[in-house]
């Protein structure tokens, strides 16, 4: 029941009176929704005006603020409207308490009601923080974070109106639980609450006991050392800067209790976007050290900033090249994996074929032995020797037949190779004769005269010298088998050289293809529009691998058309190409047909 108004509160606001009557006559589950009407009543009057003070006095006199506290003590999960209703009631409670001038029983209001109100707000904030951490869906987490921020704003508003509550908040166990959290969003909000608390009452840290002070500072320093989030680092740095500016005693406490704090700040948090506050904090911390160390630290800090900027530049430079490197790595990995799969597949096929051949041989041998046993059972004992002789004779004939076939095929292949070599020599001689004839024609057209030939005496003397040299240096005799062996070795080396040259040519073509692809991609990226102007057609250009190839082909075609339109004087260098030289493709085609002629000649 609402308490009866005193004589000075006779002319109370009718809206407050009507709401108080509804609250006293309503059921318990309907009270929270009725108390939400206080927000509309408070917003009707301007902040700080006499009308606003009168409304707050009426609300307190009719125990509506006590009803808000009683609702906040309950589990907000069962309230009508849930956690949103509890957050709005916390905001209403803080606004009702700020600017309220209690005339009757001010000691009870300041010593009992306000500490109880701040404790209820902290308990509600702790429940919302736990719900936020346990929430699984993003929408649910955003709702709990918004309600938690509403409660923290209510706490800050209440502290701004009653600065004596600052010590009460710091010594409250729920506040320390709210501050000691690994969650980023709620930790940032709680550090902002602590920052506002220190702004409202700068001497509050000197009023609390040593254990509370150490607990708060331990948590702030721990957040600096345990995270790399620049938002948390900025908030924690600002808190320590405010603490250091309060008095020298706290600066000395920071330097003695946390000996690695200066190195942590300079090494881990330099160049994170709040260097101004960080430099001020480091200057305050280094004032406690001996003379000259402050300047050394500033130089060290400047060097750290330069190093951080340089490392950032190098990192951004590497990140620009990262997509191309990742693409190359993926391509090489997929190619290697494809090769391994093909090798494994081929190995399995070879093993299966080998096993199948072994089974076929075993089956054939088994059938052969079974047939022999069956025949031996049928044949008379006196004819066994005759049958074995016939079998041996048939086997010898079969072996001889296979050997003669193998020898004939080998001789045929050797003759075919000789014929191929002969016709290749003919082709080379024909090409050389054409070339020499062409040179002779060119020389005949030149105005210079041919040199005079040798005389008979000179020719005889030269022939005599040649014969003497041959007698002194006789040529070594080489057998036909040795010459054929040397020829086969030369052919094998030539085949190996041609194979290596072909592989090198394929590798060079692949490198040229990759360079063309990279250049095409670079040109597409350079000519690409901005993200705001990108259309689906532009996306298709980058998602399709055939579009860059078609673009490069189009460019090559345009270059060739441009070359054909050149005047004759720009293509003077092309007329020196010899038209009579036989192309490699024609030679290969001609050499490939030599086998047919060799077979016919055999």
In terms of Cα–Cα distance, which of 28, 34, 44 is closest to 85? Answer: 34
Query: Is 80 exceeded by the pLDDT of residue 384?
Result: no
Res 192: pLDDT: 85
Of the chain, the percentage scoring pLDDT greater than 70 comes to 87
Cα dihedral 463, 468, 472, 474, rounded to 10, equals 40
d(CA 552, CA 546): 10
Res 294: pLDDT: 54
**Residue range 98-131, pLDDT digits in tens:** 777 777 777 777 788 888 888 888 888 888 888 8
Q: How many CA atoms lie within 13 A of 400 on its CB side?
A: 6
Res 397: pLDDT: 93
**Residue range 569-600, pLDDT digits in tens:** 676 555 433 444 444 444 343 334 333 333 33
**Residue range 150-177, pLDDT digits in tens:** 888 888 887 787 778 877 888 888 888 8
Question: Roughly how many angstroms between the first and final C-alpha of the chain, as a whole number?
Answer: 128
Helices (H) and strands (E) in the chain, counts: 26, 0
Higher-pLDDT residue of 305 and 290 is 305
Phi, psi dihedrals of residue 29, rounded to the nearest 5° = -75, -15
Res 493: pLDDT: 92
Cβ neighbours of residue 72 under 8 Å, at least 6 residues apart?
A: 86, 89, 90, 93, 120, 121, 123, 124
Long-range contacts of 291-297 (CB under 8 A, 24+ apart): 297/262, 297/266
d(CA 382, CA 101): 141
Res 327: pLDDT: 86
pTM passes above 0.75: no
Residue 137 DSSP class: S
Average pLDDT of the residues of the chain = 78
**Residue range 394-411, pLDDT digits in tens:** 889 999 999 998 988 888
Average pLDDT in the 312-339 region? 87
Written as six digits, the tokens of 494 are: 């030539």
Q: Determine the distance from the C-alpha atom of residue 433 to the mean position of all C-alpha atoms in its chain, rounded to a whole number.
A: 65
């Amino acid at each position: 029941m609402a308490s009866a108004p005193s004589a000075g509160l006779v002319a109370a606001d009718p809206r407050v009176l009507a709401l108080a009557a509804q609250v006293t006559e309503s059921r318990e589950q309907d009270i929270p929704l009725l108390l939400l009407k206080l927000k509309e009543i408070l917003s009707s009057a301007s902040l700080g005006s006499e009308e606003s003070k009168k409304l707050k006095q009426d609300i307190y006199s009719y125990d509506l603020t006590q009803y808000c506290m009683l609702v906040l003590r309950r589990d907000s999960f069962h309230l009508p409207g849930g956690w949103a209703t509890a957050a709005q009631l916390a905001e209403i409670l803080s606004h009702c308490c700020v600017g309220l001038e209690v005339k009757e029983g001010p000691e009870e209001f300041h010593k009992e009601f306000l500490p109880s109100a701040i404790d209820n707000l902290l308990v509600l904030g702790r429940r919302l923080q736990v719900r936020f951490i346990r929430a699984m869906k993003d929408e649910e987490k955003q709702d709990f974070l918004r309600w938690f921020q509403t409660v923290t704003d209510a706490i800050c508003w209440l502290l701004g109106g009653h600065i004596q509550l600052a010590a009460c908040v710091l010594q409250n166990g729920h506040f320390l639980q709210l501050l000691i959290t690994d969650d980023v969003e709620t930790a940032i909000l709680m550090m902002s609450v602590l920052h506002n608390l220190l702004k409202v009452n700068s001497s509050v840290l000197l009023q609390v006991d040593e254990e509370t002070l150490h607990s708060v500072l331990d948590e702030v320093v721990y957040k600096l050392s345990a995270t790399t989030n620049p938002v948390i680092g900025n908030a924690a740095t600002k808190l320590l800067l405010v603490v250091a500016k309060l008095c020298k005693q706290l600066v000395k406490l920071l330097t003695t209790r946390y000996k690695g704090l200066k190195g942590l700040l300079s090494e881990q948090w330099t160049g994170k976007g709040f260097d101004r506050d960080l430099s001020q904090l480091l200057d305050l911390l280094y004032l406690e050290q001996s003379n000259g160390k402050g300047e050394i630290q500033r130089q060290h800090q400047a060097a750290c900033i330069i190093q951080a900027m340089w490392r950032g530049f190098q990192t951004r430079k590497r990140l620009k090249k990262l997509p191309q490197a990742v693409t190359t790595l993926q391509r090489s990995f997929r190619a290697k994996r494809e090769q391994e799969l093909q090798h494994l597949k081929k190995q399995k096929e070879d093993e299966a074929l080998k096993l199948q051949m072994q089974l076929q041989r075993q089956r054939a041998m088994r059938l052969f032995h079974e047939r022999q046993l069956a025949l031996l059972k049928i044949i008379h004992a006196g004819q066994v020797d005759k049958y074995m002789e016939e079998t041996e004779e048939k086997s010898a004939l079969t072996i001889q037949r296979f050997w003669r076939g193998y020898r004939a095929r080998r001789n045929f292949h050797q003759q075919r190779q000789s014929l191929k070599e002969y016709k290749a020599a003919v082709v080379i001689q024909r090409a050389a004769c054409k070339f020499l004839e062409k040179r002779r024609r060119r020389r005949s057209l030149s105005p210079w005269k041919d040199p005079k030939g040798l005389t008979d005496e000179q020719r005889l003397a030269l022939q005599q010298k040649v014969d003497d040299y041959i007698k002194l240096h006789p040529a070594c005799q080489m057998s036909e088998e040795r010459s054929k062996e040397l020829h086969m070795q030369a052919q094998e080396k030539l085949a190996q050289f041609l194979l290596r040259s072909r592989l090198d040519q394929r590798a060079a073509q692949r490198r040229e293809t990759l360079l063309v692809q990279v250049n095409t991609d670079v040109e597409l990226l350079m000519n690409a529009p901005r993200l705001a102007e990108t259309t689906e057609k532009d996306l298709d250009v980058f998602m399709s691998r055939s579009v860059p190839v078609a673009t490069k082909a189009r460019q090559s075609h345009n270059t060739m058309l441009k070359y054909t339109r050149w005047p004759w004087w720009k293509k003077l260098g092309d007329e020196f190409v010899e038209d009579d030289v036989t192309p490699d493709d024609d030679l290969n085609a001609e050499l490939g047909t030599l086998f047919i002629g060799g077979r016919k000649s055999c």
